[in-house]
Each structure stands twice: as C-alpha cells, then as structure tokens.
C-alpha cells in the first residue's frame, strides 16, 4: 500500500497551488473557492488559509454536494446510494471566478456533475479546477488547471485521499485491487 | 457559515431496505434518521433560485389519489417536479373507477405504462400493501384508510427535530380523534421508535383499543396530556366521520378538548403546536393558538416537500426485480 503523498507533500502542494491561483488570476478580487463534498471541502479551506496568509485578503469558501447530479446512481442497485448532503454556498457566484476543488480527478464524471450543480446557482465569470491528485483515465473532455500531483495508475488501482479533518491523518495512498 | 463543520465519519446506512414505503412500521430507527438527514439536504434545494435538480430525470411518477387531498398531493407533485421526474395525477373523479374498474385493474393498466413509482392514497387500509404485491413500480403510501400516513409522520418528526434538535426524551402530546387517524398511527410508531415520550388524549369514545400496547400513555384529560409537553400535536376532528355520536357537540368538544391559550400555558414555555391540517378552527384548536407564535403548522407544510423529495430519492433506482429484505 504505497503512500504517494505524505502530510508534508500535501501541504507543500496546496501552498504551491495557492501561489499559482494568485499568479494566474492576478489577485483575489472576485474569486471564491468551492469544495466538492466531502474531501474537496477541507482542501478548499486549506488553500483559502494559504491564500489569506500570502495575500492578506479574505476569501470565501463554499461546499458543493453533487449527489443529485451524478449520472451513475439511479441505474445502480439500491444498496449503494450515496448520502445526500447540503450544498452551502453563502455567496452569489454570478460574475465571480469560481475555483472548484476536488481531491481526485479520475474519469471526470464528478467534475461534470459539479459543473452542472454549480451552474444551477448562477453564472460565474469563469470556473477553474483544482485536483489534489490527477490519476488519469479521463472519460470526458475535462482538464484540471491546478494539480497537486500526477499519479499514473491502472484502472484496477484506487487512490485514497485521507485528510486530518475527516480521517485523522494526511496522506494519499495508492491501493492495488486483487 | 462554517462549511468545515462536518460529521467526521460516513454513517453506516445510506439506503432503505425496502423497495416501497408502505408504513412507518417497516422502517428501523436508523432508516428514519436517514430519511430525515436526506430531507435536510433536500430542503436546501428548495431555498435555491432554481429549485430543481436532475436526479429523477426520465422517471415517471403517478399520483393515484382515490380520496380528496390538496396538501399531500400538491406536496408530492412539487417534490417530484423538483427532482425532475415526469409526474401525472390520476384523480378519482375523472378516472375509470367511476365506471366500475377495481383498484387492481386500474393499477395494472397504469403499470403497463411503466411508471417508476406510484404514490397512492386510498380510503381502504392495506390498499398500498395490495398494490406492492402486484406492481413492479415502487409504491409510496400517501395515506391508506385508518392505517398509516408515513410521509406525514416523517415531516412531523423533521419539523420537531428542526425546532428541538432531537426527538429522544421529548414529551409529545397528541390530542384529537385518535380512532380514525392514520396520522396518529404513523406518528406513534415513529416517535416511539426514536425514543420520545408520547401521550395521547381524546374522549373515551375516540380512543381505539390497544393504544397502551403501542407504548404510549393514554389519558382523557387534556390538561394531563399537555402538562410540561415539548410538543403539542393536534389531530383533526374528522367531521365526515362523526355520525357515530362520539361526543355531544362540536362546541362541547372544544370546551373539553380544544387547544386554547390557557391549555397551551401548561406546556413548556418553548413548546410548539403542530397540526397535520386541514384545521377546524374553534373545534380542535383555537384560532389564537393556530396562528400564534408557537405554531409550526405552516413549517410542517413547507417541510413536507423536502421530506417527500428524500423519500422519492431513496426509493428510486435499483432494478425492477429487486426485492430487498
């Protein structure tokens, strides 16, 4: 069970991403972060903390639940339905630059659902994408603007992101499936 | 708003064990909590500018109502539409039932058009169980005879939990026509499963036999029922069923059992007043109480949509031949 990122590497990657967001957008005016539940939310919070430290400006963070927009739950067996949680975006996204934050970018289907969910709340000026881990195997034309680490994988493997806030530990683990 | 405040571990249960929602009797406490938690997320959808999510796109839901209903039917219809289901309403007055078609024949014909779900209200207890045995579609009980009205009990529980933060240990007084009430049965089953202390109160003629066996305290003194209560839940005096001479007059009923401000004062200062509607002002409840600051009657209606969205979402999906547990 190889650890592909430890706490320090995760922290450095997120700080680098914060710098890249600042550089790419030439500042933070009119920019907000939205984390995709569940693990995108604490990652978005940490990037926001880094952005505050670097720029001194405050930045708003929202949480997006995409369950009701997924394309794979209604055909599946009734036993594996994911829990629906609240979407909490305490600001208007109209005309803002929204940085969507997720833990793992894989097929791109989660991101597709997140884009649909987000655009139901308004019309952002632009949407950018952060992924802590990009593991490849895209099934849709979606690409991340900011990547913590590219991890080459096979489809048989799975990538587990564990975060202090939810799992008590910061690490990214690559698991092979037998 | 603190978006980081999340529950740390994923809860063990994320789906219902049954394909249909026929009554609270079939649900475990854990399943009830799952429905209430899901309803909280659904309530957020109702606060958006665009109150619609694509979850049930392409699914057909038939609202089959053999009894008059405004609240429940519109509530189900709005819930279905907010989940993007295709909905259609079959009302008894315009259906073949008036030409003598039986419930089973009506259902089989609707079934032939492959709906995903049928929401059924019927005057006979057990009508939903009957359809669940012959239909592939998931059956949602919207009230069957004097048996159950599960979504009403779920929205009542949701409203209580929203106001009080919990159900366990609360004293809940249910006052009114216990004999004819499916709302009572569903509520008693649900509230006792979640650990509330339930008191029921009615004239002796309107107390069904076997009430004590349901784990509730029974009294004919309304003052005793509401004393120190956290929640006062009124039930409608079903005027259409009052031909049996259960009490001398509506006026006497109001004098003895009606919820007046004086009686509400015996409950806790922060007690809430509930009623499943439609209310009879001046019969079971005084207008000042129904419209007062402690009344959550309209919150119940609003929460009904979120709770029904949760039920529809949790019952949708799965393959047709899947008979779970």
Across the interface, whether the CB atoms of A65 and B41 are under 8 A apart is answered yes
Tell whether the model's pLDDT for residue B3 goes beyond 60: no
**Chain B, 83-142: which have a CB under 8 Å from a chain A CB?**
83
Mean pLDDT of chain B: 90
pLDDT of residue A75: 60
Task: Using a CB–CB cutoff of 8 Å, tell me whether B244 touches chain A.
Answer: no
Tell whether the model's pLDDT for residue A79 goes beyond 90: no
Nearest chain B alpha carbon to A91: B1
Lowest mean pLDDT among A74-83, A118-127, B192-201: A74-83
Across the interface, whether the CB atoms of B49 and A74 are under 8 A apart is answered no
Nearest chain B alpha carbon to A63: B3
Q: How far apart are CA B266 and CA B89, in angstroms?
A: 44
In chain B, which residues have their Cβ closer than 8 Å to the Cβ of A73? 55, 317
ipTM for the complex?
0.84
pLDDT of residue B13: 75
Question: Smallest Cβ distance to B54: which of A35, A69, A90?
Answer: A69
Question: Smallest Cβ distance to B48: which of A42, A73, A120?
Answer: A120
| Mean pLDDT in residue range B256-274 | 96
pTM: 0.90
| Mean pLDDT in residue range B103-121 | 93
**Spacing of C-alpha A163 from chain mean position:** 13
Task: Using a CB–CB cutoff of 8 Å, tell me whether B54 touches chain A.
Answer: yes
In chain B, which residues have their Cβ closer than 8 Å to the Cβ of A68? 45, 53-55, 83, 313
Contact B82, B109 (CB under 8 A): no
Task: Using a CB–CB cutoff of 8 Å, tell me whether A68 touches chain B.
Answer: yes
Task: Using a CB–CB cutoff of 8 Å, tell me whether B46 touches chain A.
Answer: no
pLDDT bucket at B12, cuts 50 / 70 / 90: low
Mean pLDDT of chain A: 92
Nearest chain B alpha carbon to A88: B3
In chain A, which residues have their Cβ closer than 8 Å to the Cβ of B55? 68-69, 73-74
pLDDT in tens, B64-106: 999 888 899 999 999 999 999 999 998 876 677 777 788 999 9
């Amino acid at each position: 069970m190889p650890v592909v990122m430890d706490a320090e590497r995760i922290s450095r990657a997120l700080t680098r991403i914060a710098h890249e967001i600042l550089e790419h957008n030439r500042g933070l005016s009119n920019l907000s972060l939205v984390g995709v539940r569940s693990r995108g939310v604490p990652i978005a919070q940490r990037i926001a903390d880094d952005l505050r430290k670097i720029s001194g400006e405050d930045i708003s963070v929202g949480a997006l639940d995409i369950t009701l927009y997924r394309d794979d739950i209604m055909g599946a067996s009734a036993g594996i339905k994911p829990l629906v949680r609240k979407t909490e975006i305490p600001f208007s996204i109209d005309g803002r630059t929204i940085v969507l934050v997720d833990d793992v970018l894989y097929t791109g289907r989660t991101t597709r659902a997140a884009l649909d969910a987000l655009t139901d709340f308004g019309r952002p000026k632009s949407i950018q994408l952060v992924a802590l881990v990009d593991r490849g195997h895209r099934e849709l034309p979606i690409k991340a603007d900011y990547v913590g680490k590219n991890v080459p994988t096979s489809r048989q493997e799975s990538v587990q992101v564990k975060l202090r806030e939810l799992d008590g530990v910061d690490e990214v683990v690559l698991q092979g499936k037998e | 708003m603190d978006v980081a405040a999340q529950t740390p571990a994923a809860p063990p249960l994320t789906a219902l064990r049954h394909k249909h929602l026929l009554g609270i009797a079939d649900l475990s406490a854990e399943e009830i909590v799952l429905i209430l938690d899901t309803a909280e997320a659904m309530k957020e959808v109702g606060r958006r500018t665009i109150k619609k999510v694509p979850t049930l796109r392409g699914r057909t839901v038939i609202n089959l109502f053999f009894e008059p209903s405004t609240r429940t039917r519109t509530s189900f219809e709005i819930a279905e539409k907010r989940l993007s289901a295709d909905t259609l309403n079959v009302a008894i007055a315009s259906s073949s039932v008036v030409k003598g078609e039986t419930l089973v024949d009506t259902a089989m014909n609707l079934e032939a058009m492959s709906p995903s779900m049928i929401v059924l209200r019927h005057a006979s207890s057990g009508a939903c169980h009957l359809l669940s045995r012959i239909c592939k579609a998931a059956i949602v009980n919207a009230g069957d005879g004097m048996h159950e009205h599960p979504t009403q009990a779920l929205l009542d529980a949701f409203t209580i939990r929203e106001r009080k933060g919990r159900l366990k240990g609360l004293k809940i007084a249910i006052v009114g026509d216990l004999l004819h009430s499916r709302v009572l049965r569903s509520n008693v089953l649900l509230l006792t499963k979640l650990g509330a202390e339930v008191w029921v109160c009615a004239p002796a003629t309107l107390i069904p036999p076997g009430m004590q066996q349901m784990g509730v305290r029974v009294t004919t003194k309304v003052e005793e029922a509401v004393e120190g209560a956290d929640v006062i839940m009124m039930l409608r005096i079903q005027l259409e069923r009052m031909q049996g001479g259960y009490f001398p007059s509506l006026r006497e009923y109001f004098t003895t059992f009606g919820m007046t401000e004086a009686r509400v004062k015996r409950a806790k200062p922060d007690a809430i007043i509930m009623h499943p509607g439609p209310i009879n002002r001046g019969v079971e409840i005084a207008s000042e109480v129904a419209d007062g600051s402690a009344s959550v009657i309209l919150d119940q209606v609003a929460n009904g949509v979120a709770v029904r969205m949760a039920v529809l979402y949790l019952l949708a999906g799965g393959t047709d031949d899947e008979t779970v547990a």
